[in-house]
Amino acid sequence: MESIGKIFSHVHQKCILGYKALMLCWSDGRTQFMLDFSLHGEKGKIEGKEQGLTSE
């Protein structure tokens, strides 16, 4: 999995592995239709160190 990283879950109140997603949805109040989406990976705070899983 490329660009997977630690994200803060407000539901679980801790960091978990996952992706950040940005979604554009249309709703009429009863139904919802997803129009577009994008997945985002972050570089991390430390320069030169990749964010995400290692080969271990």
Residue 55 DSSP SS3: coil
- Evaluate if residue 36 carries a pLDDT over 90: yes
**Nearest one of 36, 41, 32 to 23, comparing CA atoms:** 36
Start-end of H helices in the chain: none
Rg (CA), the chain: 15
Type of residue found at 22: L
pTM, two decimals, is: 0.50
Interval 3-27: pLDDT, tens? 677 788 888 899 888 888 889 999 9
Residue 35 has pLDDT above 90, yes or no: yes
Res 1 pLDDT > 70: no
pLDDT at 53 over 70: no
Question: What's residue 42's pLDDT?
Answer: 67
